[in-house]
Chains A and B, each alone.
Chain A
């Protein structure tokens, strides 16, 4: 699947154990992470985001996340939802 981010979209919440994801069109791929566990898990969070980005074939767009301690499968779910809401197939 090759998805293109054509509009802005959000997914998730700012509740504990969740993550709020915002996706916007952008010329290149940008990832911005804010997390209550940034110092310990920033790399793992970025890895989770990139796995979804690659799976959906997204090569550009700005993905900003505000993480409230979400586990891996939640981060992936919210990123996937936001990208699918923001995109169409390439």
Chain B
């Protein structure tokens, strides 16, 4: 389950130490924008040591490396891959070749470390106009790609427009990424809401992202994690309905019925699939019951 992804600057020990107690499903240890060029070496070594020593229980680890057009990204991977992070987030991914370049380099390191192929997954950060237009090719470029992530700040700079709370300027990019990711069977994550103090605004933005089909949302502040988790979790009513759907299907199968309805509405394949997804989320959140298997 990955609803919230919290960015943590890679060169800040007091935040790195507490990464797993901030409530996020995933933490993104950042070697890119949060680290000045003069401190890239320092952050890389610090994050490597943190991964070696800290266990980050119950928290997925994602490392945002530096872009492929810099001299840093291979050094980042050299230090980080041996520690087997869950995912690597290459930023400013604009085409399928960017993904393949990073994936091939990771593959060499995985082999050297004796890891199974494709152990470390990729979540390309799409934050350029070219990247948005190539979203499907990026999502389908490599088996290692497990999700797409939209970066709204750099994207609006590239689009030469102002980033607003309403987000009209990134509407096309959001829907395009959702469609591309879903077409390829991978998850898709929304850009952070950057006004740390505007909690109401965060809820509105997260609810809108969920309504478009995003799997979850990133955050640059621990204060936003709770809200994101809440928005991207199923409600109790949704959970109850999902169980009712599965129970109705089970009974119908026993009775040999082909078509069934619940609360006056026919239960078709998409409703069953949605119910399964809700129950999966419930299990991830609370642990589940066997009768829904």
A62 at the interface (CB under 8 A from B): no
- B12, B14, B17, B45: the one within 8 Å of A77 (CB): B45
Complex CA distance for A18 and B16, rounded to whole angstroms:
11
User: Which of A25-33, A37-45, A66-74 contacts the other chain?
Assistant: A66-74
Complex CA distance for A83 and B213, rounded to whole angstroms:
49
Q: In which size bucket is the chain A interface?
A: 10 to 19
Residues in B with CB closer than 8 Å to A16 are 14
A7 at the interface (CB under 8 A from B): no
Contact yes or no, B50 A78, CB < 8 A: no
Report which A residues bind B (CB closer than 8 A).
11-12, 15-18, 70-74, 76-78, 80-81, 84-85
Output the nearest chain B residue to A82 by Cβ-Cβ distance.
B42
Number of interface residues of B (CB under 8 A): 14
B46 at the interface (CB under 8 A from A): yes
Starting from the known contacts A73-B53, A74-B49, 11 additional A-B residue pairs (CB-CB under 8 Å) come to A12-B42, A16-B14, A17-B13, A17-B14, A18-B14, A74-B13, A74-B50, A77-B42, A78-B46, A84-B45, A85-B41
Contact yes or no, A17 B42, CB < 8 A: no
Complex CA distance for A77 and B12, rounded to whole angstroms:
12
Residues in B184-241 with C-beta less than 8 Å from chain A: none
B52 at the interface (CB under 8 A from A): yes
> Chain B 31-74, CB within 8 Å of chain A: the 1/0 string?
00000000001100110111011100000000000000000000
13 A-B residue pairs with CB within 8 Å: A15-B12, A15-B13, A15-B14, A17-B14, A18-B13, A71-B13, A73-B46, A74-B49, A77-B45, A77-B49, A78-B42, A81-B41, A81-B46
Give the shortest distance, in Å, between A2 (CB) and chain B (any CB): 19
